[in-house]
Amino acid sequence: MLVEEQLKSESKLNASTKCILNLMYTGNWVNEKTSIYFKQFDLTSQQFNILRILRGQNGKTINLQDVQERMISKMSNTTRLIEKLRIKDLVSRIQCESNRRKIEISITDKGLELLSVIDKSLRTHENETTKNLTEKEAILLNELLNKLRTNNK
């Protein structure tokens, strides 16, 4: 369906405006589908993102600032998200004794187990979300999205 139809716009949109609106609309659509998917694991997509970042540390700890830099959504309240994951025993926080402001974070065995369960169905969810694209179209879309962000910060 055309973005103008989705937004019920009766005016003709120029290509740049249409592109931005389409990206925003599609991003929200993907976020909604992803939120529904992660709800079955009692997670948000931002919490999942943190767990993946921590798993990528291969057992090493990471500080809060480095987690935040790697987040997909830079607007996330990383401290609050990590605390929610800690309460669920999916991550651990260790406060540095010499510098109490420094906190090191790592994923727990329970967090790794949850990611292992998620990994089994995540590919199916991703394929379902992108099912209207061929592999070549998905590659092209990735290239175009990367191009849009290149030198555009």
**What are the residue ranges spanned by the domains of the chain?**
42-121
CATH class of 42-121: mainly alpha
Read off the tokens for 101: 């402001």
pLDDT of residue 7: 65
The model carries a pTM of 0.85
Task: Give tens-digit pLDDT for 34-59.
Answer: 999 999 999 999 999 999 999 999 98
Structural element, H or E, at residue 137: helix 135-149
Q: What percent of the chain has pLDDT over 70?
A: 92
pLDDT of residue 83: 94
pLDDT of residue 73: 83
The confidence band for 139, taking pLDDT boundaries of 50, 70 and 90, is very high
| Burial (CB count <10 Å: 0-12, 13-18, 19+), residue 13 | middle
Distance CA 109, CA 130 (A): 31
Half-sphere exposure of 72 (CA within 13 A, CB side): 12
Half-sphere exposure of 38 (CA within 13 A, CB side): 15
